[in-house]
Structure 1
Amino acid sequence: MLQIPAWKRISILAVCLAGIVFAFPNAFYTRVEQHNDAVAEIDALGATPEREEAAAGWPSFLPATLVNLGLDLRGGAHLLAEVHVEDVYSDRMDGYWPEVRDALVGIRDQVGFVERLDSAPEGTLQIRIQNAEAMPGALEAVRALAQPVVSLTGVGARDIEVAGDGNVITVQLTPEEKVATDNRTIQQALEIIRRRVDEVGTREPTIQRQGENRILIQVPGIGSAAELKALIGTTARLTFHPVVSRTGDPQAIPGPGNIVVQDLENENEYYIVEQAAVLSGEDLVDAQPTFDQNGMPAVSFRFNPSGARVFGQYTSENVGALFATVLDDRVITAPQIREPITGGSGQITGNFSVESSTQLAVLLRAGALPAELTFLEERTIGPELGQDSIDAGRIACIVAFVAVLVFMVLSYGLFGVFANLALLLNVGLMFGVLSVIGATLTLPGIAGIVLTIGMAVDANVLVFERIREELRTAKGPSRAIELGYERALSAIIDANITTFITATILFVLGSGPVRGFAVTLGIGILTSVFTAIFVTRLFIVMWFERKRPRTIEV
């Protein structure tokens, strides 16, 4: 019997309705996008009248999911940046100096005085000891500081190599540690750029590594490459330094091993700090706005285990001293160490407002770029070009759609009309799924949609042709329709599974536009099979139950 249970009918209609509802916001793209941006900014940065007005532009009871438009459709900025990973080598050596100094001071009776040489080559640490005869013991003490390389390719290697020449000890990173450091630097730069570009998670940027030390950055909706560069920043490393003194003279002579750094808020105030940082932003894992014991805004922070150990030891030995947080060669804050901080967390207090403490927490949490960036390629894709792409894709979709609709009606009559209705629902379901998963639509993605429209009726063609064959054997209409669906099912599944496997391979092995094409093609296959097997059949069954025809013509 040609019938579909009530629960199955309700399920099919519910799926179709859900797809249309979730696809509906794309018809009001600008309003919904402004609403989403405002809601995200309110959650992350707080409410303002402008943000609340934008958030009220779309009803809260309706879905607000959108298909994100890619760079080629919306316009935006494209940058290719090179990361100066060598900068990190010098920072690592600066960080090693206090440990090396302490190790050599422990055997001062053998080596005599210890002095760091400022003329050392970039990325190396050179120390002069007084007694050249004690060089073997000094080398042994410094080599004891070496740690295993933390990487899969550097198993069994140490992070530093130590050599002696006369009374000069040279310390530098091993090749294995340089490779591991480069990888960590690029990954950290990727994450920090992502946080700076997309702090509230609404821009859908493309940020990925290219080659050994380059990063590709593409952000839809940005007005120019210059705006994107300003958003990212080009240098800046977050470091924590001991404060030697304060001064109002920018020309003050800092003394050996010290530097002069300007205050971020008060441009007339300067700090003389030690050049060697106690900790860097790599050791900071979290920062949150909070309030101190007096109810004033403050910032709480937390270090990783190694940073917590160093921080606890330093604060225990320097209670009462000032400790500067330096970002972009400017002192963010320089609080006084009031007590030892041994738990790996602490609090920055000062003349903060709620807003400034929140901004500082975001800044500390995002961190600073670990190395300088050089922009090798800059491109701005205007919205006009994106609009041209959208218009061309729209024309292609409409032409393909109309051609398929006309062909189906001319070939299969009323059954072709049912297939066309299912095709309309198929497109709605496709955009609904793309919206729910937050997919980014590019020009190749539109090509995948056009191809899906052409393929969507393939399953219906197989079914209808099979029904025609069954009608020729003098079977009744009901039995012919039922057998048509049953005997065409294997061919439908086989054809679509092979295409879906191809789309999966393209998604796994491809990147960028290829993956966008694969996503739309794969989703289109799933929705077209659903509409052909279930939706079109439901239409035919409902029509057949109402008309009860003695004969049918397909």
Structure 2
Amino acid sequence: MLNKYPVWKYLLLLFIVAAGFLYALPNLYGEDPAVQISATRGGDVDVAQLEQVKQALQQNGIEYQSLAIENNQIQARFKDTESQLEARDIAMQALGSDFIVALNLMPAQPQWLEDLGGSPMKLGLDLRGGVHFLMEVDMSVAMQKKQEEIQADFKTSLREEGLRYRNLLPFGNGVKVSFRNAEETQKAEDYLSKNFRELTIAQSNEDSNTITATLSDARVQEVKEYALQQNITIIRNRVNQLGVAEPLVMRQGAERIVVELPGIQDTARAKEILGATATLEFRRVDQDADPASAANGRVPYGSEVYYNRNNNQPVVLKKDVILTGNHITGANASFDEYQRPQVNIDLDAQGGTKMSHFTKDNIGKPMATLFVEYKPTGRKKPDGSIEFEAIKEVINVATIQARLARSFRITGIDSAAEAQNLALLLRAGALIAPIQIVEERTVGPSLGQENIDLGMTAILWGFCLVLAFMILYYRGFGIVANVALAVNLVLIVGVMSMIPGATLTLPGMAGIVLTVGMAVDANVLIFERIREEILDGRGPQQAIHKGYESAFSTIADANITTFIAAVILFAAGTGPIKGFAVTLAIGILTSMFTAILVTRAIVNAAVGGRKVSKLSI
């Protein structure tokens, strides 16, 4: 028969439509304001912390919908955002700094839908569904690192030139070097002026045997600008590691960065990864020092005392840094031969050369891996910026067994989760200067609730007007097209809900309105072709067959060109443009499916396989 589908094709179409309805269903349940609590450094939360939070909420009269441990996190759901915000502050006070407390919006769909993999469509920041962080960069640490870099370069260069100095200390926006006599001072000034042109080098007014090397104001601004831009780049890398769709990372002023994460679910992890300022330093162990004496204050000159993270034992390290995390190009977590967590490190060419030269001359000697993390103290500097404290812990002391190159591993890490976090931070890059999250909030509609209502009204009005037109103009076949149009909208929502990272924004809603019109356009072409075939004297069944067959090539050509344009918009665009491109591309595919296959299946089921004298079209 011309217009009869086999049973398997009906079943396949029914299965696809049913799957679309199923995965669109979670969007009807909405989301609950929630507080999400996780341990720092990938640690575990247990029943003790759960009871602590429960008691704190009850004592303050905060009602919650649910409170449980899920995926190694304490998750508390609330009825409104006011309770959520109060609970966040209470939980932070109750648990202290060893836990990360973050705001979240959690899907409210039933458990059976969640077990099937259903989740609501992620909404952009303009549709109430994301987190906003305002971060502040500590520029004093960036300048301190620049001074340390200058000191290290001066030490190496003067040693290679055979110029002996008495001391080398930080000074202003640079360093100062003291020599034994005027002759060495003059030689050093000539040599350093020739090889360090970015510095202003001159003899000190206070001591003729002392040279000062300072950065100009313009160079200081360049250092700060570089620190800000590099931090922005690294934060973008970290956001990509989190898999967030359509993130916004941009500067605000001279020292602040705005990060907006639409549709984010695990905000506690996002807060930990984005706010962490972690790097590594590889240093030589001072074998001549007595750790116990050093811990009591008798630290040898040129050394520093730190403590091992695992057993809190003192370790005396040389101040000179062999290598920093800035040279790390790759890092991944794994397990060693004893199933203990480790991080495999890859270095750039310069870092590999430094490590190779050091280990070649120090085989059989111990080398320490120092974990450096900057944390806010809660105090403010005179200029109003946040004061940070450097937390430095020895995570590994290993004897150099052979000459190392660009790849090696570090061990001594507490847990596999901490190894994963450390690898992610090192892989994404070490921040040039520490950052502090000075503001965190869930973001409501940035364009206002009125604009969102207008967007939904536009979809509904467009949908209703199209329905009315199709019924009035095409009668029975118009009803078929309207059913397919409703299925098309559900499929768009279902597909958007299924795709990881897909986010609906206001421009995306515009894309949906456009695809509604395009879906009807395809049916108009088909129905008009059926009318033409009937006017040419063909029978109803043959007219239906020729109408769908002849209009297909025209529909395909028009939709393929639009789909290509959507792909180009997605590839070249950013933010709202990408949101529009995603819904447009999905809408094109679903509209072709519904306008051609679904309507044909309904028509075939209604009039195919039987004799009809007239079509309602």
Q: How do 1:140-539 residues align onto structure 2 when only pairs under 5 Å count?
A: 161=198, 164-166=201-203, 168=211, 170=213, 184-192=230-238, 195=241, 198=242, 201=243, 204=245, 206-210=247-251, 215-220=257-262, 232-233=274-275, 235-242=277-284, 246=291, 252=297, 273-284=317-328, 285-291=330-336, 295=338, 297-304=340-347, 305-317=349-361, 319-321=364-366, 323-328=368-373, 329-344=390-405, 345-346=407-408, 348=410, 350=412, 356=415, 358-367=417-426, 368-373=430-435, 379-381=441-443, 397=459, 400-438=462-500, 439-485=502-548, 488=551, 492=555, 496=559, 500=563, 503=566, 506-507=569-570, 510-539=573-602
Coordinate RMSD, CA, aligned: 5.2
Could you tell me which amino acid in structure 2 is paired with residue 359 of structure 1? Answer: E
Residues 16, 425 of structure 1: 8 Å contact kept: no
Query: Corresponding residue for 2:19?
Result: 21
Which one of 171, 185, 189 corresponds to residue 132 of structure 1?
A: 185
Letter paired with 1:299? Q
Which residue in the other structure is 2:603 paired with?
A: 540
Range that drifts further, 484-493 or 416-425: 484-493
Is residue 283–residue 369 contact of structure 2 (8 Å, CA) maintained in 1? Answer: yes
**Shift of residue 325 of structure 1?**
1.0
* Separation in structure 2 between the aligned mates of residue 33 and residue 362 of structure 1, nearest angstrom: 28
CA distance in 1, matches of 2:164, 2:440: 55
SS across alignment from 1:330: strand
Matching residue of 1:68: 122
SS at match of 1:523: helix
Over 3 Å counting, the alpha-carbon distance change for 1:177 and 1:394 in structure 2 is closer
- Secondary structure of the corresponding residue to residue 167 of structure 2: strand
Q: Secondary structure at the match of 1:277?
A: strand
Amino acid at match of 2:368: F
Would the alpha carbon gap of residues 534 and 247 (structure 1) be closer, same or farther in structure 2, given more than 3 Å must change?
Answer: same
2:125/2:446 contact within 8 Å kept: no
Pairwise CA distance, 1:186: 3.2
Secondary structure of the corresponding residue to residue 399 of structure 2: coil
8 Å Cα contact 2:248-2:575 kept in structure 1: no
Please give the alpha-carbon distance, in whole angstroms, between the structure 1 residues aligned to 2:354 and 2:28. Answer: 50
Moved more, 67-76 or 269-278: 269-278
Q: How many residues align?
A: 514
Distance in 1, matches of 2:436 and 2:416, equals 31
For the 8 Å contact 1:242–1:323, the answer to whether it is kept is: yes
Q: Distance in 2 between matches of 1:266 and 1:248?
A: 18
CA distance in 1 between partners of 2:566 and 2:178 (Å): 63
Distance 1:312 1:67 in 2: 51
CA shift for structure 1 position 473: 4.1
SS at 1:425 equivalent: helix
User: Residues 76, 402 of structure 1: CA spacing in aligned structure 2 closer, same or farther, 3 A cutoff?
Assistant: same
Once the two structures are superposed, what CA deviation does each residue of 1:121-175 show, in whole Å capped at 9, x if it has no partner? 33x45544551343487449956xxxxxxxxxxxxxxxx7466535637487997
Residue 240 of structure 1 aligns to a residue whose secondary structure is: strand
Larger % of strand: which? Answer: 2
Deviation at 1:281, TM superposition (A): 2.0
| Mapped pair 1:118 → 2:170 | yes
SS of alignment partner, residue 233 of structure 2: helix
1:23 and 1:435 in contact (8 A); partners too: no
Partners of 1:224 and 1:272 lie apart in 2 by 39
Cα displacement string for residues 197-246 of structure 1 (whole angstroms, at most 9, x for unaligned residues):
x4xx5x65725345897643223577999997566336554433445564
2:230 and 2:432 in contact (8 A); partners too = no
C-alpha displacement of 1:280: 1.9
What letter corresponds to residue 160 of structure 2 in structure 1? G
User: Do the aligned partners of residues 17 and 477 (structure 1) sit closer, same or farther apart at CA in structure 2, a change above 3 Å counting?
Assistant: same
Instruction: Note the C-alpha offset of 1:313.
Output: 3.5
Structure 2 residue matching 1:552: 3-state secondary structure: coil
Residues 16 and 429 in structure 1, CA contact (< 8 A), matched pair in contact too: no
Q: In structure 2, do the counterparts of structure 1 residues 243 and 213 end up closer, same or farther at CA, with 3 Å as the change threshold?
A: same
In 2, Cα distance between equivalents of 1:539 and 1:443: 33
Give percent identity, aligned residues only: 31
Q: Distance in 1 between matches of 2:14 and 2:178?
A: 77
Which stretch shifts more, 539-548 or 496-505?
496-505
Q: 1:125 to 1:398 in 2, by over 3 A?
A: same
Q: Which runs of 5+ in 1 are unaligned?
A: 144-159
Give the letter for the 1:187 counterpart.
T
C-alpha spacing 1:100/1:57, structure 2 compared with 1 (3 Å): same
1:97 offset after TM fit, Å?
Answer: 3.9
Q: 1:151 maps to which residue?
A: none
Partners of 1:494 and 1:298 in 2: how far apart?
55
Query: TM-score with structure 2 length normalisation?
Result: 0.65
1:83/1:214 contact within 8 Å kept = yes
Residue type matched to 2:609 in 1?
R
Residues 1:346 and 1:465: Cα distance change in structure 2 (over 3 Å): closer
Deviation for aligned residue 1:543 = 3.5
Letter in 2 for 1:405: L
Find the counterpart in structure 1 of residue 79 from structure 2.
none
Partner letter of residue 158 of structure 2? L
**Cα distance change of structure 1 residues 376 and 495 upon mapping to structure 2, 3 Å threshold:** farther
Whichever residue aligns with residue 23 of structure 2, its letter is P
Change (3 A) 1:137 1:13: farther
Could you tell me how far 1:549 is from its partner in structure 2? Answer: 0.7
Q: CA deviation at 1:254?
A: 5.8
Maintained 8 Å contact 1:324/1:335: yes
Cα distance in 1 for residues equivalent to 2:296 and 2:567 = 63
Distance 1:509 1:444, change over 3 A: same
Say which is worse superposed, 134-143 or 336-345, in terms of deviation. 134-143
Determine if contact 2:467/2:482 at 8 Å carries over to the other structure. Answer: yes
| Structure-1-length-normalised TM-score | 0.71
**Cα gap change, 1:52/1:419 in structure 2, threshold over 3 Å: closer, same or farther?**
farther
Question: 1:207·1:217 contact (CA, 8 Å) conserved in 2?
Answer: yes
Q: Which runs of 5+ in 2 are unaligned?
A: 47-68, 76-109, 204-209, 374-389
Which residue, 47, 70, 77 being the options, matches 2:131? 77
Where 2:370 maps in the other structure, the secondary structure is strand
Asked if the contact 2:137–2:436 (Cα under 8 Å) also holds between the matched residues in 1, the reply is yes
